[in-house]
């Protein structure tokens, strides 16, 4: 499998469950472009929409443990409620993957006041800029509002591979957790 190189664009690779084949997204998905027009539109009424469909032989798959019986049917998924055909196959097989390095996943947006480059081996993150309004009561009986300085939060869903104890300690801020930030799951 190809190693990550920060000077090259994000690695686009999928590895089969039997580790025999490595594919790119171009091998799995085909691009379909549609041209449309908005009703009652003016000069900017035309638009182009790009969708992605599976190449022949590919499908979504998942393992589900259920206390009730599932049957083949059509289901709606995604923001556009796209319709998919769901085929159910009963299996005793389990898909279990253990990363030997361990990983940490952010379950909520999180504030980390340390450089993450020293706190893990690898991270897939995106940041959110955060500000709040600070009020000050003036002598004339009115409030004056001013913006706080900027804070960078790591977005929920960010993944940290082989996190150090200092990262877990930085995330374990009870005050931030109490208001809904800095929640994470750690698998060692």
Residues 120 and 173 both lie in one domain: yes
Residues 107 and 183 both lie in one domain: yes
pTM over 0.75: no
Residues 79 and 148 both lie in one domain: no
Task: Provide the H-helix boundaries in the chain.
Answer: 25-28, 165-171, 174-178
Q: Which of 23, 55, 86 is the last residue of a domain?
A: 86
Residues 74 and 109 both lie in one domain: no
Domain count, the chain: 2
**69-123 pLDDT per residue, tens:** 899 999 998 777 888 888 999 888 776 666 677 889 999 999 998 888 888 888 8
Check pLDDT > 60 for residue 8. Answer: no
Q: Which of 25, 58, 86 is the last residue of a domain?
A: 86
Give the chain's count of helices (H) and strands (E). Answer: 3, 14
C-beta of residue 111 within 8 angstroms of C-beta of residue 181: yes
Residue ranges making up the domain that contains 56: 14-86
**20-72 pLDDT per residue, tens:** 777 888 888 999 998 888 777 777 788 888 888 889 988 878 888 888 889 99
Residue 117 is classified by DSSP as G
Residues 109 and 179 both lie in one domain: yes
Token code pair at residue 58 = 């590919």
Name 51's Cβ contacts closer than 8 Å, sequence gap at least 6. Answer: 31, 32, 33, 34
Residues 35 and 109 both lie in one domain: no
């Amino acid at each position: 499998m190809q190693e990550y190189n920060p000077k090259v664009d994000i690695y686009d690779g999928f590895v089969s469950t039997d580790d025999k084949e490595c594919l790119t997204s171009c091998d799995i998905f085909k691009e379909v472009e549609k041209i449309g027009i908005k009703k009652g539109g003016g000069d900017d009424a035309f638009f182009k929409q790009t969708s992605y469909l599976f190449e022949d032989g590919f499908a979504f798959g998942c393992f589900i443990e259920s206390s009730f019986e599932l049957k083949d049917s059509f289901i709606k998924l995604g923001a556009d409620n796209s319709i998919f055909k769901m085929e159910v196959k009963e299996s005793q097989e389990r898909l279990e993957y253990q990363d030997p390095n361990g990983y940490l996943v952010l379950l909520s947006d999180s504030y980390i006041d340390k450089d993450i480059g020293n706190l893990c081996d690898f991270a897939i993150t995106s940041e959110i800029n955060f500000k709040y309004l600070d009020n000050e009561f003036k002598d004339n009986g009115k409030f004056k509002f001013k913006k706080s300085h900027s804070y960078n939060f790591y977005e929920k869903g960010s993944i940290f591979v082989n996190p150090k104890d200092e990262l877990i300690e930085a995330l374990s801020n009870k005050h931030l957790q109490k208001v809904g930030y800095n929640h994470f799951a750690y698998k060692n």
